[in-house]
Amino acid sequence: MAAILYGIKNCDTVKKARKFLDANQVDYSFHDFREDGLNPIQLSAWAAELGWESLLNKRSTTWRQLPDETKENINEMLALMVMEDQPTLIKRPVLELSDRVLVGFNEKTYTELLVD
């Protein structure tokens, strides 16, 4: 099963996830939002599966820098637009497996799903 890990290579949580996947010899490829871009159709699919609220990182510096009007009026359509425009607003990492998508890194969850 080849997984795809999405994120930004200098993000500490993404580094932890990559280290875990490498240490457990999980077959995956890495997709860097900054270098490789973001597919809006894929973003919409994640939002449909997980809910846009779980994808939007409201603790990020990027979120704090958004205009107050945007933050006060955030809804699914607006959230998808700003995440597409500024992928650093997406909670990282996003791990796409054949049957599900995970957001964030949780070693226990990764172990249960990925380690034999």
Catalytic residues: 11
102 by DSSP, 3-state: which? strand
The residues facing 103 across adjacent strands are: 94
Structure tokens belonging to residue 55:
């994808």
| Angle, helix 107-114 to helix 12-23, in steps of 10 degrees | 30
- 36 Cβ contact partners less than 8 Å away, ≥ 6 residues apart: none
